[in-house]
Amino acid sequence: MKLDVNVLRYLSKDDFRVLTAVEMGMRNHEIVPAELIDRIASLRHGGTYKVLKNLLKHKLLHHDSSKYDGFRLTYLGYDFLAIKTLVNRGVFSSVGRQIGVGKESDIFEVANEDGTVMAMKLHRLGRTSFRAVKSKRDYLKHRSSFSWLYLSRLAALKEFAFMKALQEHGFPVPNAIDCNRHCVIMSLVQGYPLILYWTFILEHADLNQHFYNDQNLIKRNVIMAMGPGEEKEKEMHPLLPTPLPLMSISSPSNPLQVKQLQSTDIVFEKIIGIIVRLAEHGLIHCDFNEFNIMIDDDEKITIIDFPQMVSVSHRNAEMYFDRDVECIIKFFSKRFNLSFEGNADDSDSDADAESDAVKPRFSSIKKASGFLDKELSASGFSRKEQEDIEKFNEGGLKKIPGSDDEEIEEDEEDTSSTINESDIQNFDSLCSLTKDDDEPKACSKSGEVEEDQQ
Ligand code: ADP
Ligand code: MG
């Protein structure tokens, strides 16, 4: 899906009012009846219907008349509400190029008035795993207001809360700047995912352009360059639109080259050290792999991607912990030929200590408990919300590739209005967040921020 922020310029106050009304309606309806939208937005002279058409044209809404005439927000519609709110708060003023595609997120560069560039992560839960969730619906059955909006918002809130707390505890994570709806704003990491350190990079200078501009070409080249038996598209996916660092382009005499770390074992130790220190703080990352570890030219590590983190008191904590450790060991031994032999089975105590440093045992770590609960509740995250996102994460382990958001099927639902009158009365103050000045500027394809032409 393309995020065309130019559309933002053409949206009026009424457009945002109606978009916000649909969002409110989605608290109780996956498809919000048109009359309800009209009632919440209360524009004069039937104005709501005209606006709905306009929003539909810009793909900010999805129309569904299978059971009744109704609408729901698309990801794009939800993006615009979040972006508009953050722009009005002065967090950023322009949106730039896309710098990452995660399993369930899109990452863009954004910049503020001072020209500081930051990263914007838009969570897209349901993009790949909605069907998996649907098959595991038992836990969601009783949620009248369940929707992907809710889950994406929870993922963003959790990620933001964790990034902030981890930073305060001295972990190398991006600086958490702000959060709204499903959108997290954080500092831009000046490195590249560790995965790039073993991917073969094509040498040709001209291709450099394509690396930046044509995602398909990157995909083809990288997969081709990985060689037979290694064509794991699934594994490659998060890497694709990440701009490749120029320094990785090898010399013309050597068409393919693997980028090497300067001090592989120090980097390895640092990474394992972070897993252990997280556990000491009561946490397990749960997706600790070469895609979520960023590394810069000085081999400084930054950890990203926190929505799936769990507490060390989770019933599967040890399994998650071991999986994170194994993943790193496997990556380093396979890609950097780091040898771990002879460490694991030695029985004397020195060898034990050494082997613990390579492959730490969950049982021998002095773990703090309560970190998760404390930090999350401090950020306004309720226990119920924690449980919901955790259940989603567990259901989401079985991803079904190829499904997209337009294939989301709707639940049987109650079409009567269950929104409180007080919600509707408060609607004006909600909409004042979306005043239509301060619109974001567009960015050129090359990523440079263009001056507002207006
Ligand atoms: P997902 O949860 O969908 O896997 P991630 O948070 O891992 O999303 O982000 C996907 C990709 O986007 C990363 O692999 C990385 O290349 C890029 N990225 C994410 N956050 C940042 C950041 N703060 N700075 C620079 N690049 C980032
Ligand atoms: Mg990731």
DSSP code string of 412-424: P---S----HHHH
Q: Look-up: residue for tokens 């613990």?
A: 356
Tokens of 174: 């991006």
Q: What is the DSSP letter of 312?
A: T
Tens digit of each residue's pLDDT, the chain (454 residues): 567 777 777 788 999 999 999 999 998 888 999 999 999 999 988 899 999 999 999 999 999 999 999 999 998 999 999 999 999 899 998 888 778 776 688 888 898 889 899 999 999 887 654 444 444 444 444 343 347 788 899 999 999 999 999 999 999 999 999 999 999 999 999 887 887 665 444 333 333 333 333 333 343 334 333 333 333 333 333 333 333 332 233 333 333 334 568 899 999 999 999 999 999 999 999 999 888 999 888 999 999 999 999 989 889 999 999 999 999 999 898 878 888 765 545 556 666 666 777 899 999 999 887 777 777 777 777 888 888 888 777 764 333 233 333 333 333 333 333 566 666 666 766 665 444 444 334 333 333 333 333 3
Burial class from Cβ neighbours inside 10 Å (0-12, 13-18, 19+) for residue 131 reads middle
Q: What angle separates helix 13-25 from helix 47-57, to the nearest 10 degrees?
A: 90
170 phi/psi in degrees, rounded to 5: 80, 15
Q: Look-up: residue for tokens 């060991």?
A: 329
The residues, ordered by sequence, that sit 6+ positions from 68 with a Cβ below 8 Å of its Cβ are 31, 33, 415
This prediction's pTM: 0.76
Q: Which residue puts its alpha carbon closest to atom 9 of ligand 1?
A: 102
Tokens of 390: 């955790």
Element of type H or E holding 88:
helix 75-88
Q: Which residue puts its alpha carbon closest to atom 3 of ligand 1?
A: 102
Rg of the chain, C-alpha, whole Å: 24
Q: Which residue puts its alpha carbon closest to atom 23 of ligand 1?
A: 188
Tokens of 41: 């937005």
Q: What angle separates helix 13-25 from helix 34-41, to the nearest 10 degrees?
A: 120
Among the bound ligands, the one closest to the CA of 103: 1
Look at residue 341 in the predicted model and tell me its pLDDT. 67
Among the bound ligands, the one closest to the CA of 156: 1
Pocket of ligand 1 (CB under 6 A): 99-100, 102-105, 107, 119, 121, 174, 186, 188-189, 193, 238, 242, 291-292, 304-305
Residue 287 annotated in active site: yes
Among the bound ligands, the one closest to the CA of 105: 1
Question: Can you name the residues that pair with 73 across neighbouring β-strands?
Answer: 61
**Three-state secondary structure call for residue 187:** strand
**Does the interface predicted TM-score (ipTM) exceed 0.90?**
yes
For residue 298, which of 191, 199, 397 has the smallest C-alpha distance? 191
Q: How distant, in Å, are the alpha carbons of 31, 78, 123, 125, 411 from that of 408? A: 12, 16, 16, 12, 10
Q: Which atom of ligand 1 is nearest to the CA of 104?
A: 3
The residues, ordered by sequence, that sit 6+ positions from 252 with a Cβ below 8 Å of its Cβ are 203, 204, 205
Q: What angle separates helix 148-168 from helix 383-395, to the nearest 10 degrees?
A: 110
For residue 279, which of 340, 355, 194, 364 has the smallest C-alpha distance? 364
Q: How distant, in Å, are the alpha carbons of 226, 248, 334 from that of 195? A: 12, 12, 12
| 3-state class percentages of the chain: helix first, strand second, coil last, to nearest 5 | 45, 15, 40
Q: Could you please report the per-residue DSSP string of 271-310? A: HHHHHHHHHHTTEE-S--STTSEEE-TT--EEE---TT-E
Annotated catalytic residue: which of 287, 305, 324, 388?
287
Ligand 2 centroid to Cα of residue 401, in Å, is: 16
Q: Which atom of ligand 1 is nearest to the CA of 292?
A: 7
Half-sphere exposure of 254 (CA within 13 A, CB side): 10
Q: Which residue puts its alpha carbon closest to atom 10 of ligand 1?
A: 102
79 phi/psi in degrees, rounded to 5: -55, -45
Q: What is the largest CA-CA distance in the chain?
A: 84
CA distance 436 to 171: 39
Burial class from Cβ neighbours inside 10 Å (0-12, 13-18, 19+) for residue 363 reads exposed
- Could you report how far apart the first and last alpha carbons of the chain are, in Å? 26
CA distance 41 to 44: 9
